[in-house]
Amino acid sequence: MTELVRRLGLNRRQFLGVSTGVLAATALPASGGGVLVPPAKRGIILYTVRDAIGRDPASTPLPSGFRRVFEELARIGYKQVEFAGYGQHRDAEGGASLETLDGARLLRRWLDDNGLQAEGNHGFIPGSWPLTQPDLDRFKFHLELANILGLGHMGTGGDPTGSPYKADWDVAAEKWNALGQIAADAGIKLYTHNHDAAYGFLLDSGPLDALGRPTRSSGVRKLEYFLSVSDPGLVWLEMDIFWAHVAKHRFHTYTAADGSPQTDVFDPLAVVQAQPKRFPLFHAKDGRANPASGNGYDMVPFGQGDIDYQAFFSGMGAKGYHNPMYEQDNAPGGAADPGRSLRFADVSYDHMASLRD
């Protein structure tokens, strides 16, 4: 086998990929079994390996800083990355902050050198509304960085608003529509990201409280309402599939306008199926079921949990359109296991690559 690998000019991973592919092809029926996440669509958000990017390169032989981490991710097989800011250790090549035009050019060169495509960034989204001039200028600067990096999308890791009230979601939609137009004028799709609370129920009916705010719900979920009032040509979403499943666990009852308790179990896949092209990016974050946890799941490497990604990616529609980014918030192992996040990235890539119809 070693001689065959040498003659074919393959490294160990490439050989395993070829041999696994051959075995899979012989095992699959002729009628189907297509790859669910094509090689060019296999991505990772760099937050997962933030410890590697941020560590002192003089302190360890492990990959450190953007350039070396890009090299390692490319070796693993990833073709896409999503930024979570532009900072690294001050002694890494390029310096502490690459949030400059020259820094973005440097990052772009390293991406190109490693065959990586940057698809998005959890970056700056103005908090003010109406926009202040400083916020507008900073937002446009981040769009300029995005264009240098070749991003198709720019977004945030937070929900549009943390409020439970319909009026606040209306304001959020107004702001995002305006920002989405500015981004579109720069050739970028603007996206927001969900945590579990965004798929809780909107307070939009029933008796008012002392401040004149509604106290009950019509059963509409907050982020679904945002989808209905924001412009589908200007505002996109990145579903964090883990947090959407946490919402399924946490938010399944509400109090209707008449005071009656109602049950409505959330279906993350159905939300995507209703308008699949509204979701150009996903966070492919896995969870092992744990009913004792408040979230209902514990985060684990992709493919080691109980979220049915085979069914999700098979059923969501618009095949080949979406960009799933592996994410694991707790991947860094700290001083006890400094190589863990990149090791988990390796394991998770293999599971993502193995998904079939």
Give the pLDDT confidence of 187-201 residue by residue, as tens digits: 999 999 999 999 999
Claim to verify: residue 9 and residue 110 sit in the same structural domain: no
Structural domains counted in the chain:
2
CATH number of the domain enclosing 121: 3.20.20.150
Q: Which residues 6+ apart lie within 8 Å of 284 measured at CB?
A: 241, 302, 309, 324, 325, 326, 327, 352
* Residue 46 structure tokens: 């760099």
Same domain flag for 107 and 215: yes
**Position 6 pLDDT exceeds 80:** no
**Do 26 and 131 have their domain in common?**
no
Is residue 268 over pLDDT 70? Answer: yes
What average pLDDT score do residues 241-267 get?
97
Kindly report the number of other CB atoms within 10 A of residue 208's CB atom: 11
* pLDDT surpassing 90 at residue 5: no
| pLDDT higher than 50, residue 4 | no
Tell me how far apart the alpha carbons of residues 192 and 157 are, in angstroms, rounded to a whole number. Answer: 7
Task: Provide the residue range defining the domain that includes 26.
Answer: 1-33
pLDDT attached to residue 54: 98
Per-residue burial over 134-161, b if 16 or more Cβ lie within 10 Å, else e, is ebbeebeebbebbebbebbbbbbbebbb
Give the pLDDT band (50/70/90) at residue 32.
very low
22 and 54 share one domain: no
What was the pLDDT predicted at 282? Answer: 98
Same domain, 23 and 41: no
Helix, strand, coil fractions of the chain, as percent rounded to 5: 45, 20, 40
Q: Do 156 and 73 share a structural domain?
A: yes
Residues 83, 128 within the same domain: yes
Give the model's pLDDT for residue 33: 65
- CA atoms of 249 and 293, how far apart (whole Å): 10
Query: Which residue, among 33, 34, 37, 35, has the nearest Cα to 241 in the 3D structure?
Result: 37
pLDDT for the residue numbered 304 = 98
pLDDT at 123: 85
1, pLDDT greater than 60: no
Say if residue 16's pLDDT is above 80: no
The per-residue pLDDT for 191 is 98
Task: Based on the fold, state whether residues 49 and 111 are members of the same structural domain.
Answer: yes
pLDDT given at position 19: 43
Whether 12 and 134 map to the same domain: the answer is no
**Res. 69: pLDDT tops 80:** yes
Residues 27 and 110 in one domain: no
128/268 same-domain check: yes
Q: Dmax over Cα atoms in the chain, in whole Å?
A: 78
Both 186 and 301 in one domain: the answer is: yes
Check pLDDT > 70 for residue 7: no
Q: Mean pLDDT throughout 143-166?
A: 96
Q: Which residue has the higher pLDDT, 218 or 16?
A: 218
**Is residue 23's pLDDT more than 80?**
no
